[in-house]
Amino acid sequence: MNKIKIGIIGLGYVGLPLARLFATKFAVVGFDINSNRVAELQSGIDSTLEVSEAELKEVTRNESPTEAGLYCTDNSDLLKDCNYYIVTVPTPVDRTNRPDLTPLHKSSETVGKVLKKNDIVIYESTVYPGVTEDECIPVLERVSGLKFNVDFFVGYSPERINPGDKKHTVDKILKVTAGSTPEIGKKVDDLYASVITAGTHLAPSIKVAEASKVIENSQRDINIAFVNELAKIFNLMDIDTHDVLEAAGTKWNFLPFQPGLVGGHCIGVDPYYLAQKAQEFGYHPGIILEGRRMNDGMGKYVSSEVVKLMLRNDLKVKGAKILILGITFKENCPDVRNTKVVDVIRDLKGYGADITIYDPWADPAEVEREHQVTTTDKIPKDKYNAIVLTVAHNEFLDLDLRSLLNSQGVLYDVKGILKTNEVDGRL
């Protein structure tokens, strides 16, 4: 393994932690098309907060390394000396929730231009079964002029990064691996096993590994959809859902899922990838799509519940000042991709409400670019007719929320982190 040089394509929430980890043992070139992202990494700063400044500076090199170390660049020519390529680009859906494979196609073209005989390309991006072999490999062959499984080889090892989680870091999460031949599967598995302390699981084929990843998040999506439906039912019965879940959770095999807004780059997206492939085979995945329908509709449900509470308190909704606490897709994390908080915001704006969004973790400029929504990272000083706690950031627990409300103002807790007697309603 001493001769291994790894190229990581995509330096986001998945690629950077992986590149940093591999760079402790191997020469690594990290490539990203975002020159601003590369510049911040070269200066030792990771705006995603997944890798600390100390960890990044420890492995960062000023030029393409020949020994252990990481060099970040937006120049794809510097990938030419690598013999392992790991693709860690996003796999989003479009406006109609159909898989958008554009990032995968483009990154495959980038790798194809520098691909050499005996090189191994590993994909980590979450996809439906068959994407690696049916979509990515043809691009590699076309651009490189090389023949798959003769001149170059392919592996698949689905990412399991949990943004913001400092306990389950990349090295502490068991890694599923696969290769285009048994021999390549072993090489891919050995590569990851050299840095993943949690261990690896070598799957029998690339399609099996692809399927294992996409059902991980589909399973979570369906379970969350179930408790979201329970929340709607128990709300009609005037029963606190969280009290019910706490009681049911005393049984040893009860699964501890909570109701909420399901966003992010995995749970809210991956089921659509599996559903798309199932439909191509003539099968309608009813449970998967119904789970998606339920979870995609929770933003509108939350906003309607807030409006009901306001009307009960004789508060006029049109022109009402409403404070939204949190815009990121999860707590204590700056990631705003596919956040479902925007659904709550847009629906409340549809009622004519005056919305203020406070999130100490989110970059206001990034939120504006991603969602065309104005936010602040400064604690508001105004009085509000309603406050909606949508993200469970630690900072919100220290706020005296009632002091920010008018006398008839309502407090709604989406995340269930406040005491029952402190709120007027919660999911």
Same domain, yes or no: 183 and 309 = no
Would you say 68 and 32 are in contact if contact means Cβ atoms under 8 Å apart?
A: no
pLDDT (0 to 100) of residue 274: 94
Residue partners of 269: CB distance under 8 A and separation at least 6? 91, 92, 93, 126, 217, 338
CATH of the domain at 182: 3.40.50.720
Average pLDDT over the chain, rounded to an integer: 95
Residues 169 and 43 in one domain: yes
Collect all residues with Cβ–Cβ distance below 8 Å to 215 and sequence separation of at least 6: 274
At 168-185, the pLDDT tens digits run 999 999 999 999 999 999
- Residue 262 CA to residue 268 CA, distance in Å, equals 6
Which residue, of 152, 177, 206, is where some domain finishes? Answer: 206
Can you tell me the distance from the alpha carbon of 151 to that of 359, in angstroms, rounded to the nearest whole number?
50
- Number of compact structural domains in the chain: 2
Q: Which of 206, 240, 263 is the last residue of a domain?
A: 206
How are beta strands 153-156 and 175-179 bridged, if at all? Answer: antiparallel
Residue 216 lies in a domain: no
The residues carrying an active-site annotation are 266
Q: Is residue 40 part of a domain?
A: yes
> What pLDDT is attached to residue 165?
85
Q: Would residue 222 count as lying in a domain?
A: no
Distances in Å between the alpha carbon of 67 and those of 79, 82, 116?
Answer: 15, 12, 21
Low-confidence stretches of the chain (pLDDT beneath 50): 1
Residue pair 228/260 in contact by the 8 Å Cβ criterion: yes
313 in the same domain as 190:
no
Provide the residue range defining the domain that includes 332.
Answer: 297-427
pLDDT the model gives residue 106: 98
pLDDT at 166: 87
6 closest CA partner among 207, 195, 212: 195
263, part of any domain? no
* 54 and 158 inside one domain: yes
Judge whether 265 lies within some domain: no
Q: In what order do the strands lie in the sheet with 153-156?
A: 69-73, 27-31, 5-9, 84-87, 120-123, 153-156, 175-179, 200-202
Find how far residue 49's CA is from the centre of its chain. 14
Residue 273 lies in a domain: no
